[in-house]
Every structure is written in structure tokens, then in C-alpha cells.
């Protein structure tokens, strides 16, 4: 598996590069956002690992640009910024996972393998989902309620897709974190609740029936009520 690493900290970059080689991956390294973008667009990679704070082009802007051209390539963001707002910004840019420095190499490998496994399974083989008056086109990434288009960020779209695929089933925060973000739920953050709130405002607030409901102490459920 070919992996692109975009990291301007030489020590961190070399550690990741060496670690990936030890686990049998074929990594290539870029030290700034602009050259990373050029490499990502000109070569074929199975996964990208990028820092957020990069010279030339930030990891956030890099991710947004790559998502426009290569929407399905898995992207992991590495950063020293670990607040809920920072994570939300990274996910909204199109990142599939988010790892806060410092981290264990073994944890990074677990995240990489999970994303590659998900990509190989191609979960988007069914391109159209419908529940009540909610419609989702997984190819064009469009969402409609009552035939009115609703604009979602990439991660909001992923979360809604998972909820629709598992409609009328209570989804715990742990399950959502593992299945949508490929990470373990950190009880010290509330980023999942933040995204649920975003979805409610966009697909429920101005429409009937309400679809996203909270089950206190258990999680969330998408059901027509």
C-alpha cells in the first residue's frame, strides 16, 4: 500500500516513515502542503497522512482541495490541536480520521488498517438511499428533504449515511465513533453530539417529520416520528 506523508517536522516525519516501512507499507514524504498537493494529484496513493500546520498550504486547505478531485482517498490528519472545534474543522475539511500528537505508532497503524479495510469494502456500492422524505445520492453527494436540497459537509454526510443505513436502530456514541470516524470515543469530548446537532439543524429543523432523536443514556436513532 502506497502512503503519502505530509509533515514538516523532520523528526516526526522520519519516525512515521520508518514505522510504516517496518509494517510493510510503501511511504513517500513531503515536507510542505504545496508539494504534498502536487504529489497527491500526480501519483496514486492508497492513503494520505497530513499534518494540519504546514508551510505553503495548510492541511485543512490541502484536504479540501484533494477531496474535490479524489473524493474517496482516505485521509488521516495529525496535529497537536486536540479540542472539539479543531476536530470538527478537520472532519469538515474531509478528513476521515484525526490523531493528536504525541501518538503511539501502533495506534496510527490501527487507524490506517481500519481506513484501508473500509475503502476496500467499498461501502458505497448502493448509490441511493431513501428514508421517509429524506433522499441521499452517494455518487453526487447530494441530500434532499421534500425535494429541497440540503448542503452538508463531508463528515455530516458520512454520519447521515450511516444513520440512514442503520435507521430505526439506536446508535451509541461509541458505535458512531468507530464506524463513522474509525476512532475510539473519547468521553472527554463531545464532537459526536456537535455533529448530531448540525444534522438536526439542517435536515430536521425546517422539515416534518423529525427524524433524528436522542435516547437518553443510550445514543441516537433515526426514525420517523
What are the tens digits of pLDDT across the range 61-108?
999 999 888 888 999 999 887 677 878 888 889 899 989 888 999 999
In whole angstroms, how far apart are CA 184 and each of 100, 107, 110, 174? 13, 11, 11, 7
Question: Closest Cα partner for 97 from 170, 191, 187?
Answer: 191
Q: What is the DSSP string of 167-178?
A: TTS-B-HHHHHH
Q: Where does the pLDDT of residue 188 fall: very low under 50, low under 70, confident under 90, or very high at 90 and above?
A: low
Residues 107 and 143 in one domain: no
Q: How far is CA 181 from the centre of its chain?
A: 6
Question: Closest Cα partner for 119 from 46, 208, 183?
Answer: 46
Of the listed ranges 13-22, 86-95, 184-193, the one predicted with least confidence: 184-193
- Assigned C-alpha cell, 206: 425546517
Angstrom distance (rounded) from CA 63 to CA 41:
12
Angle among Cα 79, 81, 84 to the nearest 5 degrees reads 120
Beta carbons within 10 angstroms of residue 18's beta carbon: 11
Q: Looking at the predicted structure, is the pLDDT value of residue 204 above 80?
A: yes
Compare 118 and 12 and report the one with higher pLDDT. 12
Site of grid cell 490541502? 62
Domain containing residue 81: 2-121
Residues 96 and 158 in one domain: no
Please report, for the domain that includes residue 175, its CATH number: 1.10.10.10
Q: What is the pLDDT of residues 18-46, one digit of tens each?
A: 999 999 999 999 999 999 999 998 888 99
Domain count, the chain: 2
Question: Closest Cα partner for 37 from 77, 69, 2?
Answer: 69
Residues 185 and 76 in one domain: no
Per residue in 44-66, is it b (16+ CB within 10 Å) or e — as a string? ebbbbbbbbebeebbbbebbebb
Site of grid cell 425546517? 206
Residues 69 and 136 in one domain: no
Residues 114 and 131 in one domain: no
Gyration radius (Cα) of the chain, Å: 18
Residues 67 and 144 in one domain: no
pLDDT at 120: 73
Angstrom distance (rounded) from CA 29 to CA 52:
15
Residues 102 and 156 in one domain: no
Q: How far is CA 162 from the centre of its chain?
A: 12
The domain boundary residue, chosen from 96, 121, 146: 121
Please report, for the domain that includes residue 56, its CATH number: 3.40.50.2300
Beta strands in 8-127 (DSSP E): 26-30, 47-51, 75-79, 97-100
8 Å CB contact between 13 and 29 = yes
Residues 94 and 63 in one domain: yes
Residue 141 DSSP symbol: T
Residues 86 and 141 in one domain: no
Instruction: Report helix, strand or coil for 32.
Output: coil
Q: Where does the pLDDT of residue 122 fall: very low under 50, low under 70, confident under 90, or very high at 90 and above?
A: low
Residues 104 and 194 in one domain: no
- pTM comes to 0.62
The domain boundary residue, chosen from 72, 94, 121: 121
The domain boundary residue, chosen from 121, 139, 166: 121
Q: What is the pLDDT of residues 128-181, one digit of tens each?
A: 888 999 999 987 889 999 999 999 999 999 999 999 988 989 999 999 988 888
Amino acid at each position: 500500500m502506497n502512503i503519502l506523508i505530509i509533515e514538516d517536522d523532520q523528526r516526526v516525519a522520519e519516525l512515521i516513515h520508518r514505522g510504516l516501512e517496518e509494517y510493510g507499507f510503501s511511504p513517500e514524504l513531503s515536507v510542505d502542503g504545496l508539494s504534498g498537493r502536487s504529489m497527491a494529484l500526480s501519483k496514486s496513493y492508497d492513503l494520505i497522512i497530513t499534518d494540519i500546520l504546514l508551510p505553503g498550504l495548510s492541511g485543512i486547505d490541502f484536504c479540501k482541495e484533494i477531496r474535490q478531485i479524489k473524493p474517496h482517498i482516505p485521509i488521516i490528519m495529525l496535529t497537536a490541536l486536540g479540542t472539539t472545534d479543531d476536530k470538527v474543522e478537520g472532519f469538515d475539511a474531509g478528513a476521515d480520521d484525526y490523531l493528536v500528537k504525541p501518538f503511539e505508532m501502533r495506534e496510527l497503524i490501527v487507524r490506517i488498517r481500519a481506513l484501508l479495510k473500509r475503502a476496500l469494502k467499498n461501502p458505497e456500492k448502493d448509490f441511493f438511499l431513501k428514508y421517509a422524505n429524506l433522499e441521499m445520492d452517494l455518487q453526487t453527494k447530494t441530500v434532499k428533504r421534500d425535494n429541497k436540497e440540503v448542503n452538508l459537509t463531508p463528515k455530516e454526510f458520512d454520519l447521515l449515511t450511516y444513520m440512514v443505513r442503520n435507521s430505526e436502530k439506536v446508535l451509541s456514541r461509541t458505535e458512531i465513533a468507530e464506524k463513522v470516524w474509525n476512532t475510539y470515543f473519547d468521553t472527554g469530548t463531545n464532537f459526536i453530539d456537535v455533529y448530531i446537532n448540525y444534522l438536526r439543524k439542517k435536515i430536521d429543523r425546517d422539515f416534518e417529520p423529525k427524524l433524528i432523536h436522542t435516547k437518553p443514556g443510550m445514543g441516537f436513532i433515526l426514525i420517523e416520528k
